[in-house]
Amino acid sequence: MLTDYHIHVERGPYTVDWLRQFYEQAQQVGIKDWGISEHAYRFIETKHIFWNNWVEPRQTEKMDDYQNMIFRARAEGIKVKFGIEIDFFPGKEKEIKEFIDRYPFDYVIGSVHWIDQWGIDLSEMKEEWERRRVEDVWLAYFDRIESLIESNLFDIAAHLDLAKIFSYIPTNQEFLQEQYNRIARVLAKRGTCIEISTAGLRKPVGEIYPHPLLLETCFGQGVPIVINSDAHCPEDVGADYERALDLARKIGYKKIQTFTNRKAESHLLG
């Protein structure tokens, strides 16, 4: 079994014709279980949850259009899961839950891209990294990851060490391992799945998310996985999966999870 649940179709219209291009690529590379997980901040229905000067001009879509695309595709015989990626903001747990509960998602991906008003992975905000102590940023980032998991709102935690995107990485390995340990423990406690994401290979850091040491720490705590591409165009669906599979097997993973109606099942890793 192979999965790809972290796919965005937002660069095109919410039509079956556009979605079909992602489906055909998934078929071609042998992905059996896949789904779309649009960024929640793009929808006008989330304006009361997420808002800042960067998000506001991008907050133009309607959830009905997104959901209807999924339902129409299914009616045409395309087996596609209905997901969403939601940025976690501490203090917005109630609003996020109310939003999630309104829709029949198969899975919900939680992610952290923002530390207050700073988008840590945005190239246009990259210079902020030079103004801050790297360890302080990573600590704040993992604080938010821990709160995301503890909220118990999400099925999958996305790109666990996204903070490495521009290669601003703490050199203190003891500090890093402390962060890895605490995140792995809370993931195990909550039963939250993580993704092995090949997207990092297409980012400046040029590495899979998460780092092998973080993945190994999660494996040691029994944290389950999916494999995702975080594709934003059809050709990136399933990209670099041989490397992701090699890493998963090297760490010791033999199973992968699938999601339907927010219920997880384990399968042998493809």
Which tens digit of pLDDT belongs to each residue from 179-224?
A: 999 999 999 999 999 999 999 999 999 999 999 999 999 999 999 9
Q: What is the mean pLDDT of residues 129-136?
A: 98
Q: For residue range 102-118, list pLDDT tens digits in order.
A: 999 999 999 999 999 99
- What whole-number distance in Å separates Cα of residue 68 and Cα of residue 58? 20
The sign of the CA dihedral 133, 135, 140, 145 is: positive
Q: What is the pLDDT of residue 125?
A: 98
Which tens digits make up the pLDDT trace of 60-93? 999 999 999 999 999 999 999 999 999 999 999 9
- Is 90 exceeded by the pLDDT of residue 138? yes
Cα 155 to Cα 222: distance, rounded to the nearest angstrom: 15
pLDDT value for 51: 86
Q: What percent of the chain has pLDDT over 70?
A: 100
**Mean pLDDT of the residues in the chain:** 97
- Cα separation, 267 vs 144, in Å, equals 30
Per-residue pLDDT at 37 = 98
d(CA 56, CA 50): 9
- SS3 of 190-226: the string is HCCEEEEEHHHHHCCCCCCECCHHHHHHHHHCCCCEE
Residue type, 35: G
Domain spans, the chain: 3-268
3-268 in CATH: which number? 3.20.20.140
Q: What is the pLDDT of residue 270?
A: 74
Buried b (16+ CB within 10 A) or exposed e, 128-156: ebeeeebeebbbbbbebbbbbbebebbbb
pLDDT tens-digit profile of 228-246? 999 999 999 999 999 999 9
| Number of residues that this document lists for the chain | 270
Q: Is 252 helix (H, G, I), strand (E, B) or coil?
A: coil
Q: pLDDT band for position 95 (50/70/90)?
A: very high
* Residue 158 clears pLDDT 90, i.e. is over it: yes
List Cβ neighbours of 140 (8 Å cut-off, separation of 6 or more): 115
Q: 258 phi and psi, to 5 degrees?
A: -120, 160
Structural contact between residues 219 and 252, judged by C-beta atoms closer than 8 angstroms: yes
Q: Check pLDDT > 90 for residue 268.
A: yes
Average of per-residue pLDDT across 93-99: 98
Q: Which residues are CB-contacts of 173 (< 8 A; sequence separation ≥ 6)? A: none
How large is the average pLDDT for residues 137-143? 98
Rounded CA-CA distance 188/192 in Å is 7
32, 11, 18, 20: which is closest to 241 by C-alpha?
32
